[in-house]
Structure 1
């Protein structure tokens, strides 16, 4: 195991110098056992990080698994809001993120202050926030939602109540389209990676492989285009599937297509190919890679387990309020896939 664990001066340069070989894997497992730690990896992580994890999936499902485990430490290989969610659901456990610089453009698109100002402009409105938000925003939220249950959560709000939906505008547009709700106000936030997967490239890929299923994440800028293609008959409607990351894995096992075009962050392809190795899974946009997700490197994970870096804290008041918004979502029904 080459081990120099270098960190360059660029504030977003990933930690390097460690090869994910067998010696690295043995050391990670030894240290995890020593710390009584459970290792969680989001579906968008590097393949070697996914392979070493105890559990791989979407962030909410992972956080709930960790909360139910006997581990005293949670090592969350993902971005910062995900580790915060784990801490919210497991306040008595130590939560580590291997590199605290791993942020999220979507979560950063709305702050607690901005949400409070939005609420003040719409007194009496119900705030529905996607789980891809900071603890501070969750604390200002009435009900959280996932990408797979957002429609059900919004539908549970009385029809005469205004709804403030944040932060993802594409998921919000999907919910508004499905519910037909006119009193749904949508925050203009986005994930820069998903927003960059556009309609024209989806149409081009679909035209070149007309028999392929389309797995489309609702955060994608091309989600509306996918439905348009289906509506116009350019793509059979049954081949267009708007899915969360967790639901994509389930759909991979069920599809009868020989090829699938996938519109989400490219890290998802690893789990899809494992779930159904006989199917040709291809990215709609091969450049759709989140640099923040890829900051959790073999070196960062090893450092985190060795020295306990970087611990995630959420103050008790914020955590309790945020936890209540997640619980209200769970009371409505099965959360399903997180992102």
Structure 2
């Protein structure tokens, strides 16, 4: 049996077990192509949180990383949430813990805490709002301008939001996603020189995002061809744009969907080595095992869930 035939057989078996369990499979845009292809819902963190909040399935199989499965569990305490590999973590979420956040809050009493969704349930429970890259600007704009803001943990997304909103009373935690931080200004410069007619799509978490905003302001990047977008925003833009070539500055997993939805267009990774090892821990084998054995259940303690749900609800509600 070829590798393709084996993958197809596993996908068919997963679909059978999904029906038996009345399960729904949610998958992030950075997952392996064969995982994306079996998803009932495929999207960025915000889209998946909204899907988790609405599903009527008994079981949620979350093909993503740990904090995402936690978010689904917080929104659905009566449902069973499975994470196919418990080692699917997140370097960005690990860049701040609840003790560090409590100490930071003590230094800024009365400040509003905005936590990127890439955080643990414990950190969310100490927050006022959660956000994703697609709605971070709108979340900050929803907070009265005279209120001090603590934004965590991603410094690149925080810098982007601060520049767009003009908020001077916003403090930014110095955390980063090691994969996105590895997409550098040099990468962007090199690939834009090689593809001068291409449109440039940049995720706000990227290590090149702050420099790209500066270069945009200085006219060093074309205003009409440079776009800072969430992964969901990238997918939508690529479908509607008349351009035929795009440089994509984010984790390379998204290229599968982009190419699938736009076979006539070309997509070039700003850094082809921008691969998240945690996202790639989810495989067809461990998705099937999770469904068959109902293992790797994500269960958030009730006292943390109750406190974390409010900032998550606010995130889901704000467009």
Scaled by the length of structure 2, what TM-score is found? 0.96
Aligned match for 2:147, one of 149, 161, 165: 161
State the shift of 1:232 in Å.
3.6
Aligned match for 1:243, one of 229, 241, 258: 229
Distance 1:287 1:20 in 2: 27
Aligned match for 2:44, one of 58, 64, 73: 58
State the shift of 1:133 in Å.
1.0
**1:245-264 pair list within 5 angstroms:** 245-264=231-250
Instruction: Report the counterpart of residue 337 of structure 1 in structure 2.
Output: none
**1:231-310 pair list within 5 angstroms:** 231-310=217-296
Instruction: Report the counterpart of residue 227 of structure 1 in structure 2.
Output: 213
Residue ranges of structure 2 left out of the alignment (5+ in a row)? none
CA contact (8 A) 1:217 1:263 kept: yes
Change (3 A) 1:20 1:317: farther
Distance 1:247 1:172 in 2: 18
Distance 2:178 2:21 in 1: 35
Let me know the Cα RMSD of the aligned residues.
Answer: 1.7
State the shift of 1:164 in Å.
0.3
> Is 2:153 the partner of 1:184?
no
Distance 1:110 1:163 in 2: 16
Q: Secondary structure at the match of 1:52?
A: coil
Q: Secondary structure at the match of 2:37?
A: helix
Change (3 A) 1:250 1:260: same
- Aligned pairs, number: 319
> Is 2:157 the partner of 1:171?
yes
Q: Deviations over 1:66-93 (max 9, x none)?
A: 3322210000000000000100111100
State the shift of 1:228 in Å.
3.2
Distance 1:70 1:158 in 2: 36
Distance 1:20 1:111 in 2: 41
Q: Secondary structure at the match of 1:210?
A: coil
Runs of 4+ aligned structure 1 residues displaced above 6 Å come to none
Change (3 A) 1:77 1:316: same
Distance 2:221 2:148 in 1: 35
State the shift of 1:25 in Å.
1.4
Instruction: Report the counterpart of residue 82 of structure 2 in structure 1.
Output: 96
CA contact (8 A) 1:197 1:285 kept: yes
> Is 2:28 the partner of 1:38?
no
CA contact (8 A) 2:49 2:316 kept: no
Distance 1:261 1:96 in 2: 34
Residue ranges of structure 1 left out of the alignment (5+ in a row)? 3-16, 335-339
Instruction: Report the counterpart of residue 10 of structure 1 in structure 2.
Output: none
Instruction: Report the counterpart of residue 329 of structure 1 in structure 2.
Output: 315
Distance 2:253 2:205 in 1: 15
Q: Deviations over 1:219-253 (max 9, x none)?
A: 00001222233334333111111000111111111
State the shift of 1:321 in Å.
1.0
CA contact (8 A) 2:26 2:39 kept: yes
Distance 2:212 2:257 in 1: 23
Q: Secondary structure at the match of 2:296?
A: coil
**1:19-168 pair list within 5 angstroms:** 20-168=6-154
State the shift of 1:114 in Å.
0.9
Q: Deviations over 1:130-186 (max 9, x none)?
A: 111111111100011121221121122222221000000000000111122221100
Distance 2:276 2:53 in 1: 27
Change (3 A) 1:59 1:148: closer
Instruction: Report the counterpart of residue 193 of structure 2 in structure 1.
Output: 207
Change (3 A) 1:256 1:229: farther
Q: Secondary structure at the match of 1:251?
A: helix
State the shift of 1:192 in Å.
0.4
Change (3 A) 1:123 1:74: same
